[in-house]
């Protein structure tokens, strides 16, 4: 598990708490393109989900509206989101979400990951 994934798993958030979610935001540059990314473990009514958000950024680091993304930007956003959740959760249960500025993947945790989300990091195996 990557360090960013470990941090998200150790700090589940309520996805409606935008201040808490913002702590998980990072800007990534991939193949010369800039992306705004967020990776969290969301806790919703006692269930846990990996949640990756990706937006394509302009030269001023502002999100570009999705309607203005070209095919290459859309494909790159999908790739970045998949990288964020690579090796974690249950990929067969992915839920893809589009809004006006982001592509998102929501994925259930595995049973082992759920146990880790409940325990302090030093208690996990």
Relative to beta strand 95-98, strand 47-56 is unpaired
| Per-residue model confidence (pLDDT) at position 123 | 42
How many separate domains does the chain show?
1
CATH of the domain at 35: 3.40.1720
The span from the CA of 54 to the CA of 117, in Å, is 23
Domain containing 52 equals 3-123
Query: How does pLDDT run across 42-96, given as a tens digit for each residue?
Result: 998 888 999 999 999 999 999 999 999 999 999 999 999 999 999 999 999 999 9
Contact yes or no for 67/55 (Cβ under 8 A): no
């Amino acid at each position: 598990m990557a360090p960013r994934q470990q941090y998200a798993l150790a700090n589940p958030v309520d996805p409606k708490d935008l201040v808490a979610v913002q702590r998980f935001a990072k800007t990534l540059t991939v193949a010369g393109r800039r992306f705004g990314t967020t990776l969290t473990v969301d806790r919703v009514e006692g269930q846990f989900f990996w949640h990756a958000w990706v937006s394509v950024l302009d030269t001023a680091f502002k999100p570009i509206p999705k309607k203005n993304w070209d095919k290459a930007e859309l494909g790159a956003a999908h790739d970045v989101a998949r990288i964020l959740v690579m090796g974690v959760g249950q990929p067969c249960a992915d839920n893809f979400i589009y809004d006006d500025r982001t592509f998102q993947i929501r994925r259930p945790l595995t049973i082992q990951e759920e146990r880790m989300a409940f325990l302090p990091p030093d208690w996990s195996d």
